[in-house]
Amino acid sequence: MLKEIPKQFYYFLAVILVLNLVQSYFTELIYDESYYWYYSQNMAWGYFDHPPMVALLIKISSLFFNGELGVRFMSSILSVANILVLWLLIDHPKKNTFIPHFFVLVFSMTLLNAYGFLTLPDTPLLFFTSCFLLVYKKFIDKPSLGLSIVLGVVMACLMYSKYHAVLVIIFVLLSNLALVKNKYAWYAVIIALFCYAPHFYWLYQQDFVSINYHISERPNGAYSFEKYTLGFFVNLVAIFGLTFPFIYQALFKTKASGLFNKALLFLTYGVIVFFFLSSFNRRIQTQWVILICIPMVVLVFEYMMQNKTNAKWIYRLGLANIIIIFYLRIGLVHQPLLFNMHYETHGNKEWVNKVAQEARDTPVVFENSYRNASMYAFYSGNTSFSLNNVRFRKNQYSIDNTEETVRSKKILYITKYAKEGPFTFTKADGGKYYGTYIDNFSSYRKLQCIMDMEKDAIQLGKMLDFKVYNPYSFEIPLHELKFGVAYLDRYKKVKELVPLTVETTKEQTGLLQARDTMFLKIAPPVATKIKNPAYFRIVVSENNLYFGLNGKPISLAQ
């Protein structure tokens, strides 16, 4: 199959690979990449925000290179491999005469272009979506045990890449419901579940923290048509750039002709409809809809080969897209080309060096910024930690053991919320930060405040029972702890924070024992700054640090 591909195709592929490797080397990391690099420093079967595939890619990259290329090498490899798989998905007899059109189509898609070198969860998601479709195409032609095994492994790889992968599997299944009667399809499902079992077990060990966060605990905002639904349609345009009218024309003109073609259409329309409906509840990020690029490459390219007018315009506008994308890619390295507009790839080494020169070997704790903490660790090689409080959100620093690397040590505490400090610095984006030294730093962000009462039994101002669980291997003096209650609106944003006095029983000592639970009583006051709060959560301040994220949001809705 690969031998039948013309040399011209491989020449284009080689150029793209070299381009992406060069771009990877000269472009500073974006914050998400540094966060996923932080994942890879402690390999696990799962992480707070995502499954582990992105961390695995970075770990493999680091075996070959250091620095930025040590984060992005495998992304560059997967991007050209993805293009190759997409080509294999196309059976049209004329495709070898349209190789330049194919590369213009693929390379002009903005996010497919960006994920050619950036290392993000969507990078393996795109590659394994293409692989899944290729194996599925062979499977529907002639199912077998061998293909079942391969299909199951690829489905597991999809799910290890990003949770959105479930949409790929579901919509392809919906396009061919006869699969539920196919024993080989069930073999594939069983194999996929077996391969994915380690991640399920990790989720169980972590009390399903990732699922709970994405589904119920993630802060949201009030619905805005402009920001949410209209923004969703803007994203549908942005992922294709200038070619979007002719891209969608090809989609709308394509009719289902066979099970594989039907699967491509179901996947495309399914993802669009799913996120359209989701836009009435939350803002849809551009990369969430990038999944449609994979089936669209196949559908649109086949339409181009049948419609000369469509092919002509996609080719011309695609070249214009590519020129703009090239200019922007150079601007990622050389900021003046972006008219001095700041982007995440600008100035990171500079601010990290300023902090490192001040801190030297002293660990640095960033308040409410896993982005700054991971970026600092990457470029300085020094210890850092993100201390997350009730005004922010949980992340990987909330569940791993990084907190222990700064415990009982002198640290440099950096925040953007202070008004002054002995050490200050300004980042390239204009953000000003303040640093102060803390001797013998000690935080207990993993303390859990648990309330088992039904919401109908909760009355603000009345005495309530709750318990505090200490997951640490050491005892914690109660005099180091202060309790509070945070009142949240319906979008789970903190609107009021009130310190609390807790009552203990006479039998309780002044210590919260290691891996033990203490039962306490509180009387949460009626909120005064927010009318009819939707949620409240019990929080803990340790050693005069700002209150953490210790209790889960508890509904007060009537």
The per-residue pLDDT for 33 is 98
Residues 86 and 192 in one domain: yes
- At 485, is the pLDDT very low, low, confident or very high (cuts 50, 70, 90)? very high
Residues 263 and 117 in one domain: yes
Domain final residue pick, 284, 305, 335: 335
Average pLDDT over residues 393-409: 96
Cα angle, residue 483 at apex, residues 478 and 485 outer, rounded to 5°: 165
**Torsion 106-111-115-118 (CA) sign:** positive
Provide the 10 A C-beta neighbour count for residue 230: 12
Residues 500 and 408 in one domain: no
CA dist., res. 158 & res. 195, Å (int): 11
Residues 435 and 461 in one domain: no
Name the β-bridge partners of 503: 521
The per-residue pLDDT for 78 is 97
Show Cβ contacts of residue 348 under 8 Å, excluding neighbours closer than 6 positions.
Answer: 28, 29, 34, 375, 379, 428
Helices 7-26 and 69-88, axial angle in degrees (round to 10):
160
Of 531, 465, 546, nearest in space to 499 by CA: 546
> What's the structural domain count of the chain?
3
Domain final residue pick, 335, 357, 374: 335
Average pLDDT over residues 202-230: 85
Burial category of 334 from C-beta neighbours within 10 Å (exposed 0-12, middle 13-18, buried 19 and up)? exposed
CA dist., res. 269 & res. 521, Å (int): 53
pLDDT above 60: residue 198:
yes
Residues 161 and 187 in one domain: yes
pLDDT above 80: residue 340:
no
The per-residue pLDDT for 68 is 97
**Torsion 141-154-118-22 (CA) sign:** negative
Average pLDDT over residues 50-72: 97
What digits encode the pLDDT tens for the residues 140-189? 999 999 999 999 999 999 999 999 999 999 999 999 999 999 999 999 99
The per-residue pLDDT for 179 is 96
Domain final residue pick, 304, 335, 366: 335
Cβ–Cβ under 8 Å, residues 32 and 91: no
Cβ–Cβ under 8 Å, residues 37 and 58: yes
The per-residue pLDDT for 429 is 84
The per-residue pLDDT for 212 is 85
What digits encode the pLDDT tens for the residues 27-38? 999 999 999 999
Average pLDDT over residues 519-544: 89
Residue 340 lies in a domain: no
Cβ–Cβ under 8 Å, residues 486 and 500: no
- In one letter, which amino acid is 144? S
HSE on the CB side for 27, CA within 13 Å?
A: 27
Residues 475 and 379 in one domain: no
**Please, where are the H alpha helices in 68-163?**
69-88, 99-107, 110-114, 122-141, 145-161
The per-residue pLDDT for 480 is 93
The CATH number given to whatever domain includes residue 517 is 2.60.40
CA dist., res. 167 & res. 355, Å (int): 43
Q: How far is CA 412 from the centre of its chain?
A: 28
The per-residue pLDDT for 336 is 74
Cα angle, residue 368 at apex, residues 366 and 371 outer, rounded to 5°: 70
The per-residue pLDDT for 219 is 67
Mean pLDDT, the chain, rounded, equals 93
Residues 435 and 452 in one domain: no
Residues 164 and 230 in one domain: yes
**Residue 220 or 315, more confident:** 315
CA dist., res. 340 & res. 246, Å (int): 33
Residue 277 lies in a domain: yes
Average pLDDT over residues 206-226: 82
Cβ–Cβ under 8 Å, residues 369 and 520: no
Show Cβ contacts of residue 25 under 8 Å, excluding neighbours closer than 6 positions.
Answer: 67, 68, 69
Q: H or E segment at 480? A: none
Residues 296 and 275 in one domain: yes
- At 505, is the pLDDT very low, low, confident or very high (cuts 50, 70, 90)? low
Q: H or E segment at 424? A: strand 423-426
- Return the structure tokens found at 237: 């345009």
Q: Domain containing 198: what range?
A: 2-335
pLDDT above 60: residue 277:
yes
Residue 156 lies in a domain: yes
What digits encode the pLDDT tens for the residues 452-480? 766 556 777 678 888 999 999 999 999 99
Residues 488 and 367 in one domain: no
Question: Distance from first CA to last CA of the chain, Å, rounded?
Answer: 63
Residue 341 lies in a domain: no
Show Cβ contacts of residue 336 under 8 Å, excluding neighbours closer than 6 positions.
Answer: none
Provide the 10 A C-beta neighbour count for residue 314: 28
The per-residue pLDDT for 525 is 85
Residue 342 lies in a domain: no
Of 523, 526, 535, nearest in space to 462 by CA: 523
The least confident of 5-9, 98-102, 247-251, 497-501 is 497-501
pLDDT above 60: residue 558:
no
Residue 44 lies in a domain: yes
pLDDT above 90: residue 217:
no
Residues 423 and 283 in one domain: no
Average pLDDT over residues 370-389: 97
Where does residue 202 fall: left (phi above 0), alpha (psi -120 to 50 degrees), or beta otherwise? alpha
Average pLDDT over residues 317-322: 97
What digits encode the pLDDT tens for the residues 290-302? 999 999 999 999 9
pLDDT above 90: residue 521:
no
CA dist., res. 66 & res. 471, Å (int): 36
Residues 420 and 478 in one domain: no
